[in-house]
Amino acid sequence: MDNGASSYRRFLAGEDTAFAEIIREYRDGLILYINSFVSDITEAEDLAEETFIKLVTKRPRYNGKASFKTWLYTIGGNLARDYLRKAARRGTLPLENYEMTADETELEEIVIRNEQSIAVHRSMNKLKAEYRQILWLIYFEGMSMKDASAVIGKSTHAAENLAYKARQALKAQLGKDGFDYENL
């Protein structure tokens, strides 16, 4: 069982400092993952906070079938999807072909430290949301295909196919942006 699961168990048993450990460990990655849905870092921060609030107030049961990180990211991803559905109904943002408009400089300072990584990041922002999400989970969060498939709600085989298509799309986008995919 991973560290997040044991911290969550201790929190449920009444140890408040254990919840602070969860936030420290997963906050930044969760924000960036949610941002791959909403393309607004401020809204992603709010939704990540809402995810943690949900853990405190509703205390959902963690069954241990997936890693704690997978479970937590699934909760955050579901909140992001709900946010997008509500926003689409209000007409405040288009659901299809929505491109990231968040302050890329802030993201670059947090996640991307060198010029090649910046090129990959910018090219990823031009991909479909589901491509960004699967690539983010696998390469930036280091999740296994099994865990990533659980987060996005697809079978492992479907996630593998999606990851393949996402890599091909990223390769093509990097080429359009003037970068040699093989040397990155």
pLDDT over threshold 60, residue 100: no
Q: Are 121 and 112 in contact (CB under 8 A)?
A: yes
Q: How many CB atoms lie within 10 A of CB 56?
A: 10
The more confidently predicted of residues 73 and 112 is: 73
Instruction: pLDDT band for 96, please (50, 70, 90 cuts).
Output: very low
Q: What is the rounded average pLDDT of the residues 135-151?
A: 89
- CATH 1.10.10.10 residue window(s) in the chain: 112-184
Q: What's the mean per-residue pLDDT of the chain?
A: 81
Instruction: pLDDT band for 173, please (50, 70, 90 cuts).
Output: confident
Phi, psi of 155 (to 5 degrees): -70, 160
Domain 112-184: CATH architecture, name and number where available: Orthogonal Bundle (1.10)
Which of the following CATH numbers is that of domain 1-107: 3.20.20.60, 1.10.1740.10, 3.30.1240.10, 3.40.50.2300? 1.10.1740.10
- CATH 1.10.1740.10 residue window(s) in the chain: 1-107
Q: Are 51 and 75 in contact (CB under 8 A)?
A: yes
What dihedral do alpha carbons 4, 42, 37, 65 form, nearest 10°?
10
